[in-house]
Structure 1
């Protein structure tokens, strides 16, 4: 996490990057970004504790990054400020109240209908749409689409009472309500043909480019999301973005061999709670991690396009080389977390021989 902070800071100060996008809830990021725009460093800790959904980001390291963004923005013109934006779509906790509040800034003839529809969205989201059939869900989505049409029909009124940017933002938040609904509905159906979450995270990231008028964006997410992976009839977030943005999307993955990290423990089928995990065994033989560890370097950068120009590396990749890759859960058996590595998934990698666990906020 500290390395990602340093990378973003470097890109802001030396290459004009303005947007920090992250695999975090879109709605929650609105509140945090408001504090960052106003330079309210003192509010960051409480906002992280009260607004963030994922424990993953509730760390001292992320707090340091957000506080740096606050400090950076102090005294700067609006066009020179940096922004923090989530792209994830798994919760409607904040999307619904944000839309409700925005619709109240002027008198709208469809206000009662909007309130009724958003109430249905709130109740259905809380129950993961378990009582919806495919037909009733399609009808529900049609209602949300109709609300978007009504919003557009009264755009001039809403812009006059707020601003063009505020209108665009809240129209997007309403779109997030539909996204979250689809993610939840199809997840409870165990429909895996389309990865709705990654599809919409990619769309939200692409929307940021339009909203911020093609400012440069850093996107922080798990390797499995940023990678250019194809599966099913769709793929990962990175697969969508690679197709849409081509060489304007560069993929930087992270790799480590040993050390400590924070994850939910698991024994058998039971979760044992959030704790600092330790990986102290040597990497699996012939894995990418093992080969990188042989350098005896603590950290370094890899250009995969250059690396596979060498015949030995090309052949090794073709022979289904594995790498260590985990997410939020760890069962203390590293063998379970080795999977085939494809160099087409990333442009670059940063390797750390040893990682250090994050420091969770208290």
Structure 2
């Protein structure tokens, strides 16, 4: 069996990944089993560079705030701001402190120098403006959308004014209370003002849609596309806040589903302008239903990857990443009878594995599920080995 497994493994190269796919997908997603490890992000960077240069991908999207990501895109495409400012303000979840993310942004900026606008590489965040403990105020998205429309459509068509927004929004601190994540009574999401804002956001997006020909002609497709992002974000945030105020047993499931929906909508919008590379946790990109246990209850929802795959079909491809060890987090050598343990015996430090060929090589053998001693790492589920189109294996994740 060891020989058969070895024959399924190849170097981590663009050509290797593409050979596992029937055709170049419009969206190629690379997952990771944990966050915050620059060693894994370095593998991502190298693979994405090759895919950009060899396969013509022109957008790199990561699991970060979609609104903040606009600052990064401005920097890499037109040099707006400085690298330090971009890393400080252009990422959520603390990702801006990552040396590997800094390397990625620097390379994208350098890649674009001297290139025509039509051939430039774009950056995008595709997560909502959400953190584990809180959600942002919808002010930025609503204000940006209203501002765009105010400049380019008849004032009589506008459903509100900046003062209307300010009156309904109130102080941002009302929206960003961390206590609201665990206590629905602390959320403003189902207040009369929030309900009015949901109607107002819907009217603004409807106006944006009905004025599409005029707006593209008088501004640009890029500006109009950003306005659509503002609209999606405003509506998604207001829906998320509404869910935070929910007291039903389905509250957390709905919040997870709303986040997945926001991610999926952003990814699908990005594919409208060309081929996209995306990077996030494996759980966000898998095709099957996602699940987690919270307070002893099993929560299940459709991930962004599942939602995108349902619409794109073979134009969506997913490469999962698995690891052998993360010793600085207490994740030591994997059990020999687990998927990770079998791959750990391979001589390469990293490799790309064909999941279907690996499943064939295993035959009737049923690998043991690996259990993680650290909450921040999610091992592969051997029962869903063939869910990804490719499997990137990194033998030892060393501390940066």
TM-score tier, shorter chain, comes to 0.7 to 0.9
| TM-score for both structures, normalised by structure 1 | 0.79
Instruction: Write the distance in 2 (CA, Å) between the matches of 1:343 and 1:102.
Output: 46
Q: 1:345 aligns with which of 380, 383, 387?
A: 387
Alignment pair present for 1:217 and 2:268 = no
Alignment match, 1:196: 258
Alignment match, 2:399: 357
| TM-score for both structures, normalised by structure 2 | 0.72
Deviation digits for residues 302-346 of structure 1 (CA, Å, limit 9, x no counterpart): 110221123x345425xxx4246799x64xxx8xx5574321431
Instruction: Write the distance in 1 (CA, Å) between the matches of 2:193 and 2:337.
Output: 52
Instruction: Write the distance in 2 (CA, Å) between the matches of 1:27 and 1:246.
Output: 27
The Cα shift of 1:295 comes to 2.2
Cα distance change of structure 1 residues 20 and 338 upon mapping to structure 2, 3 Å threshold: closer
Instruction: Write the distance in 1 (CA, Å) between the matches of 2:218 and 2:63.
Output: 32
Q: Which runs of 5+ in 1 are unaligned?
A: 261-276
Q: 1:316 aligns with which of 366, 369, 378?
A: 366
Alignment match, 1:149: 206
Instruction: Write the distance in 2 (CA, Å) between the matches of 1:152 and 1:238.
Output: 26
Alignment pair present for 1:302 and 2:353 = yes
Alignment match, 1:289: 340
Q: Secondary structure at the match of 2:329?
A: strand
CA contact (8 A) 1:289 1:324 kept: no
Instruction: Write the distance in 1 (CA, Å) between the matches of 2:373 and 2:93.
Output: 16
Cα distance change of structure 1 residues 239 and 60 upon mapping to structure 2, 3 Å threshold: same
CA contact (8 A) 1:39 1:73 kept: no
Q: 1:75 aligns with which of 104, 111, 114?
A: 114
Q: Secondary structure at the match of 1:126?
A: coil
Cα distance change of structure 1 residues 57 and 313 upon mapping to structure 2, 3 Å threshold: farther
Alignment pair present for 1:56 and 2:95 = yes
Cα distance change of structure 1 residues 159 and 100 upon mapping to structure 2, 3 Å threshold: same
Instruction: Write the distance in 1 (CA, Å) between the matches of 2:317 and 2:61.
Output: 14
Alignment match, 2:25: none
The Cα shift of 1:234 comes to 4.3
CA contact (8 A) 2:287 2:387 kept: yes
Alignment match, 2:160: 113
Out of 117-126 and 171-180, give the one that drifted further: 117-126
Alignment pair present for 1:2 and 2:69 = no
Asked which structure has the greater RCO (Cα within 8 Å, sep 6+), the reply is 2
Instruction: Write the distance in 2 (CA, Å) between the matches of 1:39 and 1:187.
Output: 38
Q: Secondary structure at the match of 1:145?
A: helix
Instruction: Write the distance in 1 (CA, Å) between the matches of 2:312 and 2:158.
Output: 38
Instruction: Write the distance in 1 (CA, Å) between the matches of 2:68 and 2:209.
Output: 24
Alignment match, 1:20: 60
The Cα shift of 1:102 comes to 2.3
Aligned-CA RMSD value: 3.0
Alignment of 1:26-65 (within 5 A): 26-39=66-79, 43-65=82-104
Instruction: Write the distance in 2 (CA, Å) between the matches of 1:149 and 1:158.
Output: 13
Cα distance change of structure 1 residues 285 and 22 upon mapping to structure 2, 3 Å threshold: same
